């Protein structure tokens, strides 16, 4: 189908929930090519998903080899590769056990269920501008009014307090609260880094009230910030961690990990597809690649932010954001015209979450295009 016919078919047959312009046809590591053969450096990476870049040979090989052997068998049986992946995730996160899902939202739904089971309480507290997903459970702890309000009333009941405000959190937490949901760095909000001591303060308040601390690392996890989890920069141990996005290089997968003593018992949770053979193969290969590049992430992040210093970037590792304002969509468009994909997150913040395998040359080229786009728009 040619590009015109494709666009017409999409308009006629696909529900218009997304707005999109570019048709990406293929990718290799940090580069993608559109239907006209135009090349881009991809600083979006499927929004922090393609951690090993596009079609990394080790990930592609693992998926293809597994696809030739067994694509699906059901969690009624031992799934090839699942226990190895569970062990690896436990080792790199420092948590105790894992349960797989197919997405970040579903991992957070699992966390809601586990927290209710463990505490016997019903309600949650989360933070303003936080994003945890769009299923009905995860949407109830997601703040953005525009995506939440059309679906009210939502269950479970959630109180939102300002990100960074421990006094407000203290007031909101009482004996009805099962868990506090927090992103260690807010991604959809535009890479917002909380004040020092915030994560430790949440831990302390949760401990005092017997409330579970649920850390959503769907965007920040799997090496993005230079450590396996962003929470590892703080030394704080959460009760539950959720992962997805970068875990399997774009093969759909999520996971919730819990500390010792917190687990689903028989029949308390389940999923047809979650933790299937292909997803586990993709995730194991992804972790192998990230292990190789993880030591370089802080220096690569620093290189990128130094080149963008005029815009006062907020960053940790290869998770970078800065305020552009109302011109953000125009900057995004200009960058794409000049061969760099970037993404506008909330409130006029430009977000850069490139593949963790991005090279220094690609960083230099991308930064030059971004700086020129902002300078050009400002004129």
Ligand X SMILES: Cc1ncc(COP(=O)(O)O)c(C=O)c1O
Q: Give the residue numbers marked as catalytic.
A: 131, 216, 245
Rule CB under 6 A: say whether 104 interacts with ligand X.
Answer: yes
Please, which residue, 183 or 362, has the CB nearer to ligand X? 183
For ligand X, the binding residue among 89, 105, 206, 285 (CB under 6 A) is 105
Question: Is 181 exposed, middle or buried, given 0-12, 13-18 or 19+ CB atoms closer than 10 A?
Answer: buried
Q: Phi and psi dihedrals of 118, rounded to 5?
A: -75, -35
Structure token pair of residue 245:
């996005």
Tally of CA atoms within 13 A in the half-sphere of 98 that contains its CB: 24
* Cβ-based neighbour number of residue 266 at 10 Å: 6
Residue 138: Cβ within 10 Å count: 26
352 lies in the binding site for ligand X (CB under 6 A): no
Q: Which of 354, 346, 341 is nearest to 323 (CA)?
A: 346
d(CA 350, CA 69): 42
The whole-angstrom separation of Cα 237 and Cα 154 is 29
| Helix residue spans in the chain (DSSP H) | 3-13, 45-48, 57-69, 82-93, 104-119, 136-140, 145-148, 166-172, 198-209, 277-293, 297-307, 328-337, 360-378
Site string for ligand X, 218-257 (x = CB under 6 A): xx------------------------x-------------
- Closer residue to ligand X (CB): 66 or 103: 103
- The nearest distance, CB 104 to ligand X, in angstroms, is 2
Q: Per CB under 6 A, does 42 bind ligand X?
A: no
Q: How many residues bind ligand X (CB under 6 A)?
A: 14
- Among 73, 129, 139, 155, CA closest to 105: 139
188 binds ligand X per the rule CB under 6 A:
yes
Query: Among 187, 275, 313, 354, which residue sits at the site for ligand X (rule: CB under 6 A)?
Result: 187
Indicate which single residue of 46, 53, 81, 133 sits in contact with ligand X (rule: CB under 6 A).
133
Q: Which is nearer to ligand X, 345 or 374 (CB)?
A: 345
Among 62, 109, 177, 183, binds ligand X (CB under 6 A): 183
Position with the least CB separation from ligand X: 104
> Could you give the 3-state DSSP secondary structure of residue 128?
coil
Scanning 7-15, 129-137, 147-155, 168-176 for contacts with ligand X by CB under 6 A, the matching segment is: 129-137
Cα–Cα distance, 282 to 85 (Å, whole number) = 10
Eight-class DSSP state of 186: B
Q: Is 132 in the site for ligand X (CB under 6 A)?
A: yes
Interface characters, 276-295, with ligand X (x: CB under 6 A) = --------------------
Interface with ligand X (CB under 6 A), residue from 51, 103, 249, 315: 103
Nearest residue (CB) to ligand X, 44 versus 369: 44
Q: How far is the CB of 5 from ligand X (least distance, A)?
A: 29
Minimum CB distance to ligand X smaller for 52 or for 138: 138
By CB under 6 A, is residue 362 in contact with ligand X?
no
Q: Rounded to whole angstroms, how far apart are CA atoms 62 and 276? A: 13
Element (H, E) at 25: strand 24-28
Q: Mask: binding to ligand X, 62-101, rule CB under 6 A, as x and -?
A: ----------------------------------------
What minimum distance in Å lies between the beta carbon of 337 and ligand X?
A: 26
CB of 338 to ligand X, least distance (A): 26
184 belongs to the binding site for ligand X (CB under 6 A): no
Strands (E), 217-359: 240-243, 254-258, 314-316, 319-323, 340-341, 343-344, 349-352
Q: List interacting residues with ligand X (CB under 6 A).
A: 103-105, 108, 131-133, 183, 187-188, 216, 218-219, 244
């Amino acid at each position: 189908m040619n590009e015109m016919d494709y666009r017409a078919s999409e308009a006629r047959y696909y529900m218009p929930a997304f707005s999109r312009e570019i048709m990406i046809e293929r990718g290799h590591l940090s580069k993608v090519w559109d239907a006209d053969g135009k090349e881009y450096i991809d600083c979006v990476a499927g929004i922090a998903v393609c951690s090993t870049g596009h079609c990394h040979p080790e990930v592609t090989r693992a998926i293809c080899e597994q696809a030739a052997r067994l694509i699906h068998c059901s969690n009624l049986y031992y799934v090839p590769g699942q226990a190895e992946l569970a062990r690896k995730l436990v080792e790199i996160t420092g948590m105790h056990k894992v349960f797989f899902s197919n997405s970040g939202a579903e991992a957070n739904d699992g966390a809601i269920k586990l927290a209710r089971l463990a505490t016997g309480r019903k309600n949650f507290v989360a933070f303003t501008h936080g994003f945890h997903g769009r299923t009905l459970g995860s949407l109830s702890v997601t703040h953005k009014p525009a995506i939440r309000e059309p679906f009210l009333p939502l269950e479970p009941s959630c109180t939102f307090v300002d990100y960074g405000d421990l006094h407000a959190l203290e007031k909101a937490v009482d004996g009805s609260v099962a868990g506090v949901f927090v992103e260690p760095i807010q991604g959809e909000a535009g890479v917002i880094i909380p004040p020092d001591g915030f994560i430790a303060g949440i831990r302390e308040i949760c401990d005092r009230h017997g409330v579970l601390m649920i850390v959503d690392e769907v965007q920040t996890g799997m090496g993005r910030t230079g450590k396996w989890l962003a929470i590892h920069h703080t030394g704080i141990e959460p009760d539950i961690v959720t992962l997805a996005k970068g875990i399997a290089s774009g093969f759909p997968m999520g996971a919730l990990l819990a500390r010792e003593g917190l687990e689903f018992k028989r029949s308390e949770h389940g999923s047809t597809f979650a933790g299937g053979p292909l997803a586990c193969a993709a995730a194991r290969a992804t972790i192998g690649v990230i292990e190789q590049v993880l030591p370089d992430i802080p220096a690569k992040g620093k290189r990128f932010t130094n080149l963008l210093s005029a815009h006062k970037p907020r960053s940790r590792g290869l998770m970078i954001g800065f305020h552009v304002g109302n011109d953000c969509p125009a900057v995004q468009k200009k960058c794409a015209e000049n061969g760099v994909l970037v993404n506008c997150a909330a409130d006029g913040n430009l977000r850069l979450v490139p593949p963790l395998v991005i090279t220094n040359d690609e960083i230099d080229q991308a930064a030059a295009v971004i700086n020129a786009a902002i300078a050009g728009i400002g004129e």
